Structure 1
Amino acid sequence: MTQITLIAATGASLPEPRQNRHLIGGTWTGSANLLDRVSPSHGVVVSRSAVGTAADTEAAIAAARAAFDDGRWSGLSAKARAAVLHRVADLIEANVERFALIETLESGKPITQSRGEIAGAADLWRYAAGLGRDITGDSHNTLGPDMLATVLKEPIGVVSIITPWNFPFWILSQKLPFALAAGCTCVVKPSEFTPSTTAMLGELLIEAGLPAGVVNIVLGTGTPVGSLMSSHPAVDMVTFTGSTAVGKLISRTASDTLKKVALELGGKNPQVIFPDADLEAAADAVVFGVYFNVGQCCNSGSRIIVHEDIAEAFIARVVDLSRQVAFGDPLSPDTQVGAIVTPEHNARIHGYVQAAVAAGARVALGGAALPVPGLGAQFYQPTVICDVTPDMAIARDEVFGPVLSVLTFRTLDQALSLVNDASYGLSAGVWSENVHTCLAFARGAQAGTIWTNTWMDGFPEVPFGGMKQSGQGREIGRQGLEEFLEIKSLVLRIGRTRAPWVKTRPA
């Protein structure tokens, strides 16, 4: 069944391919090899990027190390650092349209969502700037009349930042401004699929007055760039967003030097719908949750757990709303679901759907790739899969596409059992008008974020991160800043009151 709302090619004129280079020690640097990024939606080369080598990565790490050790950034006052971050935020807001266009062409996401991502990231930079001015420690003045101790918080040092392709600018902005606000220096590697907005941010950092070497950008692939950024002894911390499999590899690699690792990984995020919920609002949130960013989102609400008494009617409403979701050319302002990032990923998504059907699940809507007139076949239509059982891969694995799995339950305990029967624990949601039900669910669900009668509302003030195999550490919020700080205890004796340990004998 392919009854959906289709947006054909708009015929918009496309820019010339963007040329991206590394930023190392304040200097833009090319490479002998270049990597072309073909737009998943439009099938043309939209960017051509330098391919980083081990030597490039070593140079970037050395530049970050030197910049940290000489204090050109960490030695500034928090006020001075915040001023730079605020200027970056202003420049981001002045360049939203330029950044959004290249991000849509590289990723395939709808242009309206790219605009929201870029504009919203400016708020993260401003919030981090303010937090950086309020880093405080503790003092202990009850240790005795001759003792005083203080607990200091200092920047951890050189941070490697490795970001994914699905939200290349937003996720970078969940990490980089907080690391900078803490006083760290950084080496950044974006995904080779979506490198441009990171390189463009490098231009804004220079314009904002960030000292050379404080942020270095190396383009390229996981090997050698990402692996060296994770293993190098001059790096003090790695923060990574991506798949759980790669996150585990980074943890193993980083363990040889015992550097700190922060990971934001996969999710198989459930929404549980009780009969007393506002079902119209819940259905709309379910559709948003699974199709936003083409379903290529770690927070995607990719499985719903619906009470048996309302399951049939609720699924019918979700299917009806799914048909009305605008699907097609991501350059149209009306489009809500765009292209899949690569042909291989498109095939992977379809493989999960086929396996579910073979195991007895039923396709209520979609279930196949669907070419968009004038653009091509790298699109997967909004899909709803019913009669899913908890043992099916589509109910347990992160499909990372516009595919919704539907399960049912009878009791709260059964719902929580289904929610927690997963290796992931990133986020979960509950829909009910009963506050007792919502609180019991929030306490019982094993997830880093619990949404109640909403989905995917986020704020710079509220930390984000997962439990179990969804990661470790937190991003944004005060806790996100503290990930980049090291604790140092300072113990002072007041006056010469220490009794000698060695008892001297008379000569």
Structure 2
Amino acid sequence: MAIQQTVSPVDGSVYVERKLAEPATIDTVLERAVTAQRQWRNTSIIERARLCAAMVDAFVARRDVLTEELTWQMGRPISAGGGEIGGFEERARGMIALAEEALAPIRLADKPGFTRYITREPLGVSLIVAPWNFPFMTAVNAIVPAIMAGNSVVLKHSAQTPLCAERIQQAFEEAGLPDGVFQYLHMSHDATEAVIRDSRIAHVSFTGSVAGGAMVERNAAGRFIATGLELGGKDPAYIRADVNLDDAVPGVMDGAFFNSGQSCCGIERIYVHRDIFGAFVERAVAWVKQLKLGSPTDPDTSLGPLVRPAAADFVRGQVEEAVAAGAQAWIDPGEYLLSVPGSAYLAPQVLTGVDHSMRVMTEESFGPVVGIMPVGSDDEAVELMNDSVFGLTAAVFTRDIAIGEALATRLDAGTVFTNRCDYLDPELAWTGVKHSGRGCSLSRIGYETLTRPKSFHLKHA
């Protein structure tokens, strides 16, 4: 029987071992999901909400245990891990609150002799493939609304964070969710692809790489099922000359370096008006230098390791290539004893003298590095921000909200911000353009992707 190992980035030890599901187990889980969904779809939204809310209560009651497990599985500093639990709760409760209105039948104007309305019918069994970097928050984006919409769910979590799937299952069990409405499977890549092709799956939600999204599309091709894909990002920020640097610098830099830069919607490139470029860079470098790289189990650590040594070496390669091409590195990695090639621990880095011929400004880094370029105008900033194959989020920092909003309308991104970044509001649609994916989660609109419309055209006798 195949075994899946979770190697902790904290110290390189094997933190979790799990058996991968065999075909017979997968078949049993899918059959149970189909059977459970036939009953669950007839459960009232009020009862669905009660059970999902009870799951959230059970989940957040384990905050300390969940935070510690997160640290060991994917390396986030324990001082920041509680935010993931809070984000899970915010998104879950937000989608529960939106469900009744979002799923209500659409009543049409009276037409003599006819009754007409549209209902939202659940799709069936939803397969959710979740990533390791925000393992609870990304999963809950799909799990709770899928279940609230009357679907059953099978969760395949990352091999890096298998305990996250198990803890969500545990919370649902304590809440009293009927058996089979939520289940998880630890599966190989080949098994996951086979499940996507299985006729019992009616919807796939995937969060991960562009290559992973392409895999979902290949395996779902010809089945005519709904898919939601949240993929990569190279999210930009523009700092206008009118900003208050005391607010803008910590806001955008936290968006770039939180979770060691391992965020699909983290800021990976910054464009700053020439009039304040020097002042911004000076403050940005100072902000980064106050980060403490160390073991994420230490409460004083603010910058933990990347998920694995190969990921850290990938970012090192981007930085080295940029410097060789003329970029200036403002942080001396030699000052960080843990940051050596072959280690998951990576010194943060700020680069200037960069341009779009460099991979660090065009290719997703997913690490603690950001490139900063000067621009002479709003138009130049917009042009550079849109010069990307990605389009998940984009941010404009300015004191003039009217101009910020006008610039935001010109940006090719699923979510646009002014004066903040790297945040999901559960009442707003979460979506991407270009290689950042397609489909939508969260918000009332998100429920449309988890249901199909059914029209009732009733002629009176």
TM-score category, normalised to shorter length: over 0.9
Of 470-479 and 395-404, deviating more is 470-479
CA distance in 2: counterparts of 1:61 and 1:401, whole angstroms = 37
**Does 2:119 match 1:147?**
no
What count of residue pairs does the alignment treat as equivalent?
Answer: 458
Pairing partner for 1:121 from 81, 84, 88:
88
Instruction: Show the counterpart of 1:138.
Output: 106
The residue type paired with residue 200 of structure 1 is: R
Q: Secondary structure at the match of 1:492?
A: strand
The residue type paired with residue 275 of structure 1 is: A
**Does 2:177 match 1:210?**
yes
CA distance in 2: counterparts of 1:193 and 1:369, whole angstroms = 29
Instruction: Show the counterpart of 1:108.
Output: 75
Instruction: Show the counterpart of 2:26.
Output: 57
The 1:464–1:367 alpha-carbon spacing in structure 2 relative to 1, beyond 3 Å, is farther
Pairing partner for 2:300 from 334, 352, 375:
334
Instruction: Show the counterpart of 1:313.
Output: 279
After superposition, residues 396-407 of structure 1 pair within 5 angstroms as: 396-407=362-373
The 1:354–1:438 alpha-carbon spacing in structure 2 relative to 1, beyond 3 Å, is same
Contact 1:303 1:404 in 2 (8 A): yes
- The Cα offsets for residues 295-333 of structure 1, whole Å up to 9 and x where unpaired, read as 010011010001112112211110011000122111122
Pairing partner for 2:8 from 27, 39, 53:
39
After superposition, residues 432-447 of structure 1 pair within 5 angstroms as: 432-447=398-413
Contact 2:99 2:444 in 1 (8 A): no
Query: 1:413 deviation in Å?
Result: 1.0
Q: Secondary structure at the match of 1:153?
A: strand
The residue type paired with residue 285 of structure 1 is: G
After superposition, residues 265-280 of structure 1 pair within 5 angstroms as: 265-280=231-246
Of 163-172 and 324-333, deviating more is 324-333
Pairing partner for 2:252 from 279, 283, 286:
286
After superposition, residues 64-79 of structure 1 pair within 5 angstroms as: 64-69=33-38, 71=39, 73-79=40-46
CA distance in 2: counterparts of 1:366 and 1:214, whole angstroms = 52
Tell me, which stretches of 5 or more residues in structure 1 are unaligned?
A: 1-31, 496-507
CA distance in 1: counterparts of 2:127 and 2:269, whole angstroms = 33
CA distance in 2: counterparts of 1:168 and 1:371, whole angstroms = 29
Contact 1:290 1:404 in 2 (8 A): yes
CA distance in 2: counterparts of 1:332 and 1:319, whole angstroms = 24
Q: Secondary structure at the match of 1:42?
A: coil
Contact 2:305 2:345 in 1 (8 A): yes
Query: 1:418 deviation in Å?
Result: 0.3
The 1:268–1:97 alpha-carbon spacing in structure 2 relative to 1, beyond 3 Å, is same
Q: Secondary structure at the match of 1:313?
A: helix
- The Cα offsets for residues 174-217 of structure 1, whole Å up to 9 and x where unpaired, read as 11011011010011100001111211211111111111111121
CA distance in 2: counterparts of 1:420 and 1:369, whole angstroms = 35
Query: 1:221 deviation in Å?
Result: 2.8
**Does 2:350 match 1:384?**
yes
Instruction: Show the counterpart of 2:415.
Output: 449
Q: Secondary structure at the match of 1:125?
A: helix
Instruction: Show the counterpart of 1:175.
Output: 142
CA distance in 1: counterparts of 2:445 and 2:190, whole angstroms = 31
- The Cα offsets for residues 231-290 of structure 1, whole Å up to 9 and x where unpaired, read as 211111100000112112211211121111101111111110111111121111122011
Instruction: Show the counterpart of 1:458.
Output: 424
Q: Secondary structure at the match of 1:306?
A: strand
CA distance in 1: counterparts of 2:443 and 2:109, whole angstroms = 29
The residue type paired with residue 399 of structure 2 is: E
Q: Secondary structure at the match of 2:284?
A: helix
CA distance in 1: counterparts of 2:188 and 2:74, whole angstroms = 16
Tell me, which stretches of 5 or more residues in structure 2 are unaligned?
A: none
Query: 1:228 deviation in Å?
Result: 1.9
The residue type paired with residue 67 of structure 2 is: A
Query: 1:455 deviation in Å?
Result: 1.9
TM-score by length of 2: 0.95
Query: 1:368 deviation in Å?
Result: 7.7
Instruction: Show the counterpart of 1:7.
Output: none
Of 358-367 and 420-429, deviating more is 358-367
Contact 1:289 1:455 in 2 (8 A): yes
- The Cα offsets for residues 43-72 of structure 1, whole Å up to 9 and x where unpaired, read as 222211121233333332222112123x1x
The residue type paired with residue 45 of structure 1 is: V
- The Cα offsets for residues 72-100 of structure 1, whole Å up to 9 and x where unpaired, read as x1111111111111111111121011111
Contact 1:88 1:125 in 2 (8 A): no
Contact 1:447 1:467 in 2 (8 A): yes
The residue type paired with residue 29 of structure 2 is: A
The residue type paired with residue 35 of structure 1 is: Q
Query: 1:124 deviation in Å?
Result: 2.2
Instruction: Show the counterpart of 2:228.
Output: 262
Query: 1:356 deviation in Å?
Result: 1.3
The 1:241–1:371 alpha-carbon spacing in structure 2 relative to 1, beyond 3 Å, is farther
Instruction: Show the counterpart of 1:98.
Output: 65
Identity fraction in percent: 31
Cα root mean square deviation, aligned: 1.7
Of 187-196 and 344-353, deviating more is 344-353
The residue type paired with residue 105 of structure 2 is: G
The residue type paired with residue 115 of structure 2 is: L
CA distance in 2: counterparts of 1:479 and 1:370, whole angstroms = 46
Contact 2:56 2:171 in 1 (8 A): no
The residue type paired with residue 103 of structure 1 is: L
The 1:257–1:357 alpha-carbon spacing in structure 2 relative to 1, beyond 3 Å, is same
Query: 1:121 deviation in Å?
Result: 0.9
Query: 1:148 deviation in Å?
Result: 2.2
Q: Secondary structure at the match of 2:447?
A: helix
CA distance in 1: counterparts of 2:290 and 2:175, whole angstroms = 43
Query: 1:461 deviation in Å?
Result: 1.7
Instruction: Show the counterpart of 1:188.
Output: 155
